[in-house]
Structure 1
Amino acid sequence: MHNQSPKAKLPQYIALGGGVAVEWYDWSIYGLMSAFLGPHFFPNVDPVLSTLSALAVFALGFVVRPISGAVLGPITDRIGHKKVLMWSIGVMALCSLGIGLMPSYEKLGIAAGAFILILRLIQGISTGIEQPAANAAALEIASPGRRGFFSGVVNGAFNQSGNLLASLVSFLTSMALGKEVMADWGWRVPFIIGALLGLIVMYTRRHLPETGASVATNRKLESTAKVWKEIWKHRLGVVAIIFVTGGSMIANYIWITGLPNLANATFKENSTEVFGITTAFMVLMVLAGPVVGYLADRFGSSRVYLILRVMLVPSYFIVLFYSQPGMEQFAVVMLGGGIILALNQTLFNYITATLMPQEIRTTGIAIGYGIAVTVFGGTASYLLVAAQRAGQMALFLTYGASVCALSVIIYIWAHRRGHVVGVE
């Protein structure tokens, strides 16, 4: 029985959720700024190719996330979550500051782009353990009967608040400085803001209680080898985590970074309007968190997950409506199609936690989540813009919908094989 969890207080919720928010602010701001950042670090005669180069770096940042999970996950499961969560937000903030202050290609040449890549890889290591550790900690801090709701608040509302804040800061910066200044140096401002927020949250995380196997001494695994042995026993659960996460991540990065960059770089829309609509979409994402969490507690997480995930499959094809310039079409796709995505983005974090027992939960989530966001999420923005350029948008969206459908099938398989272990 998991009866040793500390009772959470509001400041602890804020410290955990606030860190998640800032982590995802720092991660998402690069994607949102890619259309402006690309020409400064990856110059090309064709601005779309510059944006694609910046988005390629965005994708490469995901590559190290499963490696981070494989290395840091077992350590976190053995020593607890607090120390790792402190480290992850501090590293993320410093890297954002580095990107915001980095001299451009004109001053450093090819080294400028190389430094950006290195900083993004380090941020990938940070996010590779932040999300799994925060996800596990949130569920272990929450009281029984309220875990779906609390996960919806921390991993839904707070998580998406980071993306919302990134979009809002982008919108306000663009509105205040204008498109030309934004393209010149204004894109640096959101990165510096993210760094300052990260340092503040790092200070608040000192008040988090310790959670994880280290506080449940009768279940602690003494060695990394034993962690991996248990992971192998639950390998179907890891596969299920990969597809449960991947089905959401493709859609997530289509809407959060892919469509805004398509609008800014390919269709040359007004950047202030693009960021304004993206911000409105993020509000939907934030509001969906507690609602879906409540539904999961009321009607059962598996049932709610399966219904919402099946609804997401056809929602991918709404993107086809935005096949040429037009802010009205962009708004319809972002806000209309984004509703179903918003409902899905909360619950998958809770579902992945139910696929792993406590003593290996962080490692299992980290590996599955890391592989999913690398293979499916990190490439989505790049593939969306590239597919539009090549006239293959329908093919790309079919791929996304297929992964989403597979996530339903594999989860049902894992559930029937007894791999949905629940939360103690």
Structure 2
Amino acid sequence: MNAQDVAAPESAQLTGKATKTERKHLRALSWGHALEWYDWAIFGLLSSYLGAHFFPADNELASTLNALAVFAVGFVARPLGGVIFGSIADRLGRRKIMIFAIAAVAFGSFVIGILPDYETIGVAAPIIVVAMRLLQGLSAGIEAPLGTAYALELVPNRPGYVSGFFGFFNNLGNLLAPLSIFFLTQILTGDNLAEWGWRIPFIIGGLFGLLVLWLRATLPETLDVDTARAETAQKKASSSAIWADVRKYWLSVLATVFIVGAIQAYNYTWIAGLPNLARAAYQEDPSAVFGITTGFGVFMTLGALALSKVLDRFPMSKVFVIARILAIPTIFLSLLYSAPGIGTFAGVMFGGAIVLLLNMTIFVTVSNSLLPKHIRGTGLGLGYGVGVALFGGTASYLLLWLQGEGMFWVFPVYIAILCAISVILYLAAKKRNGIFVGK
């Protein structure tokens, strides 16, 4: 095991400021994160429009559920993408994989934006949408876990700063999604938005990907590729060696599944589930819904930036445990929105924002801390992908389905249990294996 893979002692001092070059590299990585989150939020927020064009059904709620099912399909590909590309990144380097990841996300977004609808090309339309979501799922499976691992390797002495920096851009992507739709609702009539205006945010996302590709081309490689190749030559199968170490840290990988899955289920409830519940089930005014989600995004974005200034003052492990325990009662705020009422919708959205902000800012860094550097691509790709696929990608669909079945109360109980399990597994993995980032 390499020297840098030794678990960080609890008393490790995290000092120093990020240099200009380090901040440049972080921006190249984090703008890609912003685009990924923008893309996934756009698909979730516009599911009612996508459903009508690509997945026609007898009523609007059924069409929306069909589109959200495809939203979930994209998550199914994440574990596969994380495993395949994470293993490659652990053997051959980070940079090329991160360039591929953003190219796939941008391409998928652009294709969905220009794709003819079901009435024009028939069954080919939903097939292509599903194919694009699978492609984006493969890339997204490695974008967040490897991107954060890459950043922590570039700026190893400021995990809190990296968390807040990435949190700012992640939330910026979430903010730009409803903000772009909100502006469209002010410019276009409801009929124009439903007919063709919904395509504009997807096309913008595809074009913006070209800029991110250019930025990422300037990134340095953090993995010693020559050493990795030499080790590959010395071993019969380097992939087998990597997987042997992943199995050694199986408890850390399992903890990552729930650390990621629990808070992503909470997150997608707030950024996609509740807004779609307001639009499709309760028929709230679209401008009001998108205006509230935009305000929510502003809070999350600026809040993450503020956290980047202070997180390194506190042990990350303690911050995580406190934040995750607080998420357990907070998720029950969703029960208040059990009937139409735009004021209640706003209250629930902002009532859960503070706890969600803290959890969403640190969860990927906390997951990184449980695994040594040489297997982070593979281990995090697997744990992150499975967690998001099982719990995050299904959250919006499950929320709407339970609401339609009159069992809405089951949903917050489910997420509260996930949060509790994540704390237990994190503490167990930390005790067994130690932590490798922060303290």
8 Å contact from structure 2 (residues 142, 381) kept in 1 = yes
- Deviation by residue 1:364-404 (Cα, 9 ceiling, x = unmatched): 11100000000000000001111111111111110111001
Task: Look up the match of 1:397.
Answer: 412
Gapped runs of 5+ residues in structure 2? 6-17
Task: Look up the match of 1:257.
Answer: 272
Task: Look up the match of 1:420.
Answer: 435
Superposition pairs of residues 125-140 of structure 1, within 5 angstroms:
125-140=138-153
Task: Look up the match of 1:37.
Answer: 50
Quickly say closer, same or farther: Cα 1:218–1:56, change in 2 above 3 A.
closer
Quickly say closer, same or farther: Cα 1:42–1:49, change in 2 above 3 A.
same
Quickly say closer, same or farther: Cα 1:234–1:119, change in 2 above 3 A.
same
Identity of aligned residues (%): 44
Q: Give the whole-Å Cα distance in 2 for the aligned partners of 1:178 and 1:385.
A: 27
8 Å contact from structure 1 (residues 295, 304) kept in 2 = no
Q: Give the whole-Å Cα distance in 1 for the aligned partners of 2:205 and 2:267.
A: 21
Question: How many residue pairs get matched?
Answer: 420
Superposition pairs of residues 144-183 of structure 1, within 5 angstroms:
144=157, 146-154=158-166, 156-183=167-194
Measure how far apart 1:116 and its partner are. 0.6
Picking from 382, 388, 407, the partner of 2:422 is 407
- Deviation by residue 1:144-196 (Cα, 9 ceiling, x = unmatched): 1x221122212x11111111111211111122113221111111010001011
8 Å contact from structure 1 (residues 23, 92) kept in 2 = yes
8 Å contact from structure 2 (residues 275, 293) kept in 1 = yes
8 Å contact from structure 1 (residues 387, 396) kept in 2 = yes
8 Å contact from structure 2 (residues 34, 173) kept in 1 = yes
Superposition pairs of residues 5-16 of structure 1, within 5 angstroms:
8-16=21-29
Q: Give the whole-Å Cα distance in 1 for the aligned partners of 2:227 and 2:317.
A: 27
Q: Give the whole-Å Cα distance in 2 for the aligned partners of 1:385 and 1:220.
A: 50
Q: Give the whole-Å Cα distance in 2 for the aligned partners of 1:369 and 1:143.
A: 21
Residue 65, structure 1, aligned to residue 78, structure 2? yes
Superposition pairs of residues 231-250 of structure 1, within 5 angstroms:
231-250=246-265
Q: Normalising by structure 2, what TM-score?
A: 0.92
- Deviation by residue 1:225-253 (Cα, 9 ceiling, x = unmatched): 11101100000000010011111011010
Letter in 2 for 1:157: F
Q: Give the whole-Å Cα distance in 1 for the aligned partners of 2:173 and 2:43.
A: 13
Letter in 2 for 1:100: G
Residue 85, structure 1, aligned to residue 109, structure 2? no
Q: Normalising by structure 1, what TM-score?
A: 0.95
Quickly say closer, same or farther: Cα 1:88–1:39, change in 2 above 3 A.
same
Picking from 255, 261, 275, the partner of 2:290 is 275
Measure how far apart 1:143 and its partner are. 4.2
Measure how far apart 1:221 and its partner are. 6.1
Letter in 2 for 1:421: F
Which range is displaced more, 163-172 or 120-129?
Answer: 163-172
Q: Give the whole-Å Cα distance in 2 for the aligned partners of 1:178 and 1:2.
A: 57
Quickly say closer, same or farther: Cα 1:27–1:220, change in 2 above 3 A.
farther
Quickly say closer, same or farther: Cα 1:406–1:226, change in 2 above 3 A.
same
Letter in 2 for 1:255: W
8 Å contact from structure 1 (residues 78, 220) kept in 2 = no
Letter in 2 for 1:167: P
Quickly say closer, same or farther: Cα 1:213–1:331, change in 2 above 3 A.
farther
Superposition pairs of residues 187-266 of structure 1, within 5 angstroms:
187-212=198-223, 214=225, 223-266=238-281
Gapped runs of 5+ residues in structure 1? none
